[in-house]
Amino acid sequence: MRLSLFLLLKISALTTFFLILVAFKPNERIHPEAQASLTPPQQLTHSLVEYDEYNIRKDAYVRSSHSVKKRDTFSDILDQFNVPATTIATLVDIAKPHLDVRKIRAGNKYITYHQSQPDAVPDFFIYEKGPIEYVVFDLRDSLTVETGKKTIRTVTKHISGSIESSLYQTLSDQDANPMVAIELSEIFAWQVDFYRIMKGDNFKVVYEEEYVENQPIGIGKIIAANFTHAGEEYSAFPFELEGNTEFYNDEGNSLRRPFLKAPLRFNRISSRYSLRRFHPVQKRYKAHLGTDYAAPTGTPVRSTADGTVVEAGYTKGNGRYVKVKHNGTYTTGYLHFSKIAKGIKKGVRVKQGDVIGYVGSTGLATGPHLCYRFWKNGKQVDALREKLPDTVESIREEYLSDFLDQVSRLKPVLEGNLANLSNPPKPLIYRPLLEDVYTFQ
């Protein structure tokens, strides 16, 4: 009886084990985080499986990389890999939530994956939309299209320097990302006139730089910054409150002011306010009651302060222009637009930083630039010399202690002691690249 019971239990255990083996089959999506995966032609082994940057197994396919050529279409590209026209039509349709195939860009990379025969239809076709995002076309039995993102690695960096010629050049001499200049100009947009940076001005900044496949792709968070301009020192420390991050000085006062120092993001200045300037179009000396900013056609122009649009139109001299009244004292004007921004018309309220138009050369202008004009009590004045209102907001008392603790931790970091970053900010998924800063219209 005992022997029979033992045999019965043994048979039951073996049966259960067998059923588990039968039930367990390798899944086609074997990689837990894979955006796209595959079924290898051979049985799985116990060896370590490696995946490429698109989460496709390295050992199962022959991979080929290519670039989109000028005038290439999506159909042209797939046709050269013997993909049937009916399959291409289906892929175009199901790709719509992920990619408008009519907008593939010359120079962008695409990759094909074949199991063995390069002349056969590939199992996978991958198109890179940019340095981070890509689209996976699965051309096997069930056609699918998915979007994936490459792994981003974040590195915390510290740089400092004294400016000899330009901020860009100083950064370049240290092999630093030029986007740092843009970020600094945005943080200190209310304190520093980046169009009048002087020799001897200096800066310190701690920031995150993001990498994909060991190539830098952009700037992440600015952790702390310091800028000295014309002998005045300004510091900036981020503080997040209710989901919004703002920059404050080391006493907890906001860096924001009623007026931005300039209506453009950091570029270059061409001529200054002058009561006697040789006009390049009219060929005579006349007062130039404004400050000119050279910039490419289409560069967005920002309102330097909150206000109401009192004029938006066209004149022979101004070209396309917008005039904004900010209060009973100050009014600003923006001239020579290539076009006025959508929705900007007389009576519309705008906020500081709102895009109101785009740099152009309409009216009396020899090339693309913005003429920025500034009125005080109805009289035009030099915006770069005018002492503007200095209303300051501070961190609320209940949060000030936490902020000052953070400042005390970050001050040594600004001096290069990165070990003080016990809890560095988490990496971002995506930040705009340099070409995104000026989105030409």
DSSP secondary structure letters along 93-162: HHTTTT--GGG--TT-EEEEEESS-TTSPPSEEEEESSSSEEEEEE-SSS-EEEEEEPPPEEEEEEEEEE
Residue 32 is classified by DSSP as T
Residue 412 has φ and ψ, to the nearest 5°, of -65, -30
Contact 338, 368 (CB under 8 A): yes
pLDDT score of 294: 83
What one-character DSSP code corresponds to residue 256?
-
The structure tokens listed for 103 are 């907008």
The DSSP H or E segment spanning 89 is helix 85-94
Rounded alpha-carbon distances, angstroms, from residue 191 to 22, 182, 280, 306:
71, 14, 32, 17
Which residue positions in the chain have pLDDT lower than 50?
1-3, 17-46, 267-288, 424-441
Domain 62-149 has CATH 3.40.50.1820: no
* Beta bridge partners of residue 330, listed in sequence order: 376
Matching CATH number, 268-381, of 3.90.1150.10, 2.70.70.10, 3.10.20.580, 1.20.140.10: 2.70.70.10
Domain 153-257+391-437, what architecture? Roll (3.10)
Between CA 24 and CA 15 the distance in angstroms is 14
What local confidence, expressed as pLDDT, does residue 441 receive?
29
Do 427 and 154 meet the contact criterion of CB atoms below 8 Å apart?
Answer: yes
What's residue 224's pLDDT? 96
E-strand spans in 295-329?
300-302, 307-315, 319-325
- Token representation of residue 345: 């018309």
Do 62-149 and 153-257+391-437 agree at the fold level? Answer: yes
Contact 68, 120 (CB under 8 A): no
Q: Return all residues near 14 (Cβ < 8 A) that are at least 6 apart.
A: none
Q: Which residues of 314-327 are buried (b: 16+ CB within 10 A; e: fewer)?
A: eeeebbbbbbbebe
Q: What angle do CA 377, 379, 380 make, to 5 degrees?
A: 125
**What residues does each domain of the chain span?**
62-149, 153-257+391-437, 268-381
State the amino acid at position 59 in one-letter form: D
- C-alpha Rg value of the chain to the nearest Å: 30
**Residue 332 and residue 374 in contact, taking contact as beta carbons nearer than 8 Å:** yes
| Per-residue model confidence (pLDDT) at position 277 | 37
- Give residue for tokens 């022979």: 316
Distance in angstroms (rounded) separating the CA atoms of residues 216 and 210 = 6
For residue 304, which phi and psi values (nearest 5 degrees)? Answer: -80, -10
| pLDDT value of position 11 | 54
Contact (CB, 8 A) for 206 and 409: no
Give the span between the Cα atoms of 217 and 150, in whole angstroms.
12
Q: pTM (2 decimals)?
A: 0.65
d(CA 62, CA 127): 17
DSSP 360: B
DSSP 8-state symbol, 234: E
